[in-house]
Amino acid sequence: MRHGRQKNRETATGPIALAVNVRSLPQKGMVVTFEADAEQRDALAKAHELSAVATFRAELLVSVWKKRGVRVRGRVKASIVQPCVVTLEPVSGEVDEAIDAVFLPEGSALTRPEYSAEGEILLDPEGPDAPETYSGDSIDVGALAEEFFELGIDPYPRAKHATDPVSMEDDARRSDEDSPFAKLLSLKRKS
């Protein structure tokens, strides 16, 4: 399940903005391929607190879903550099995320959630994401690709030689062994 912020895909103004007109999609769908230029990669790095975004590429298929809905499937791939959480050294990483999202026009009956007999909204946390809504003639598939890009970023990148900081348990164990009471106890045991 995708978590995070919901964006209005018609008016998103992030680093990767790519509006696709969805009013008259071909029956087989429309392939959209996008590769970010240097300015967009710099903006992505800044927006996502990365040291650099070396490459960013999205390959998408935008197609009709049911009667009036739109389905966007594909992949976003990127090469990134971010600081190690232990040493702050640059760590290279790859993002490779599958994209699968459904959009429905505002007011569609399919966007209404299901309710239990008690009136609670029924959600399956392991199930597919609920469709997002759109209005107008276009959807910003660039913002969608950026959202999945963000999901693929390692939240705790580590350099290969970075060691774990001392855990709290180890620290507590050491302080117990070094305490004056531990020394007194060891003297008492010797006598």
Instruction: Examine residue 172 and state whether it is found in any structural domain, yes or no.
Output: no
Distance CA 54, CA 78 (A): 7
Decide if 52 is inside a domain: yes
If you average pLDDT over residues 51-73, what whole number do you get? 93
Whether the pLDDT of residue 180 is over 50: the answer is yes
Domain coverage including residue 45:
19-163
The tokens for 148 are: 């999945």
Using the predicted structure, report yes or no on whether residue 164 has a pLDDT greater than 70. Answer: no
pLDDT tens string 107-136: 665 555 566 677 676 666 666 667 788 888
Rg (CA), the chain: 25
User: Per-residue pLDDT tens for 88-108?
Assistant: 999 999 999 999 999 988 766
As for how many domains the chain has, the answer is 1
Distance CA 173, CA 185 (A): 15
The answer to whether residue 191 is domain-embedded is no
Would the pTM of this model clear 0.75, i.e. be above it?
no
Tokens for 109? 């009956």
